Amino acid sequence: MEQTELYQLMGVLLSKRVELRRRTVAITDDTGTKLSADSDEQAIELENAEVLDELGREAIEQLGLINLALARIDAGTYGMCTECDREISRERLRVVPWAMRCMRCEGSNGR
């Protein structure tokens, strides 16, 4: 992989990390608000809190994958499949820059 392409992907990863960190802070702020006194309103707020919790879990999981990708860049192993050690296609990395597996290995894991 060319250095310029690697830097572009690293920029995408860093931008996404900032976005996800902001999102997790906003979710934490939203879930920390008090429930209203109205029981109907509380039911809606609790449902919303469940959705926010799930979004927060997803964001944290994706943050972990992005941090792993950035660590692989530092280690010089970025773009190599963690299963078979083959190169992950550039097309895949452009779409999912935090990908750890090539499409063949990703497909064989049922994901």
pLDDT given for residue 14 in this prediction: 97
Mean pLDDT of 69-88: 96
pLDDT digits (tens, 9 = 90+) for 25-55: 888 776 666 666 676 666 666 666 677 778 8
pTM of the model: 0.76
Question: How does residue 111 score in pLDDT terms, banded at 50, 70 and 90?
Answer: very low
- What pLDDT does 49 receive? 67
Question: Who's near 14: CB < 8 A, 6+ residues apart?
Answer: 70
Domain boundaries, the chain: 3-78
pLDDT value for 33: 63
Which residues does 23 contact at the CB level (< 8 Å), separation at least 6? 55, 56, 59
